[in-house]
Amino acid sequence: MDALTIHEAAETTGWTPRMLRYIERIGLIEPARSGSGYRMYGPGELQRLRTLRELLAEHDLGLGDVAFALRMRQDGAMQGDVDSWLEAEPRRPETVTAEDWLRWEQEKHARILEAVNANPKMETTA
Amino acid sequence: MDALTIHEAAETTGWTPRMLRYIERIGLIEPARSGSGYRMYGPGELQRLRTLRELLAEHDLGLGDVAFALRMRQDGAMQGDVDSWLEAEPRRPETVTAEDWLRWEQEKHARILEAVNANPKMETTA
DNA sequence: GGAACCTTGACACACCTTTGGTAAGGTTTG
DNA sequence: CAAACCTTACCAAAGGTGTGTCAAGGTTCC
């Protein structure tokens, strides 16, 4: 018995049932369904719902922001186009080769890793 | 004489002067200013304004979406937290080490590179 | 020195997002 | 079998976004 219905999940995560449906609709957390269509929230979903609230509060984000980040991650072409556009701004070599770009990205990772390590309370334990 | 005023820049890029000010306010394109405060759009800004329109149309994005992507890139801690949250979703090892995560990210790059190469019309020539 | 620009700031409007409520109907369970 | 859930589908209100326009004032240039 480790899956909760939508009202129970709302209770323990601090969201409202209404918002849990909304969060599902924008693609962030899609719980399994029972045979008759009831949403069943398992421990993983409950944890994600809680960390989602922390994430939003911590950086003053909206659900739409996170949904957009998800869309970026799922659409590699879009991610590439947006990243290309953004990276064209700072003063950098006039023509960027794919190798330049990959190196730049990997340096970015080092920076992010640093940020993650400096902030261990968000250890990604699914 | 290679810097245009806001009306001229609007003419050649398809935006309105109003929107150029808006784009500046949300941090996407900040033109230099003349001594008396006039916005001066150089060739780089004009090109970016044109590719920005393409980017939005191509992927059905809003200016706010691109502004959010920019904010992510500028705030490494936020980027890390959002990425961590998103990556906790797909079924992956229960505890993720920093090394696991970096490897995953680098694989993601390969995917994005592929997408970029498959879509060469957006060659990032600043 | 006046026409034609530019600046910031304000008001406004249409649309979308976020969130709540309610209604009509199916499911679970004591 | 009725209470207490669940579902989807609407209507709605508050706030944000994208865009236009106007006002009061500074700048450029013929």
Per-residue pLDDT tens over the stretch A53-99: 999 999 999 999 999 999 999 999 999 999 999 988 654 444 455 55
Cβ contact, residue pair B66, A82, below 8 Å: yes
Is the minimum distance from the CB of A18 to strand C below 7 Å?
yes
DSSP letter at B90 equals S
pTM of the model: 0.78
Q: How many residues does chain B have?
A: 126
Task: Kindly tell me if the per-residue pLDDT of B48 is higher than 90.
Answer: yes
Q: Mutation target for B interface from A51, A75, A112: give the one with most B CBs within 10 A.
A: A112
Per-residue pLDDT tens over the stretch A23-55: 999 999 999 999 999 999 999 999 999 999 999
Task: For residue B92, give the nearest of A121, A125, A60 by alpha carbon.
Answer: A125
The continuous run of DSSP H or E covering B5 comes out as: none
Per-residue pLDDT tens over the stretch B6-30: 999 999 999 999 999 999 999 999 9
Nearest CB to A55: which of B81, B96, B125? Answer: B81
Per-residue pLDDT tens over the stretch B94-113: 444 555 555 555 555 555 45
CA angle, A49 as apex, A44 and A55 as ends, to 5°?
A: 120
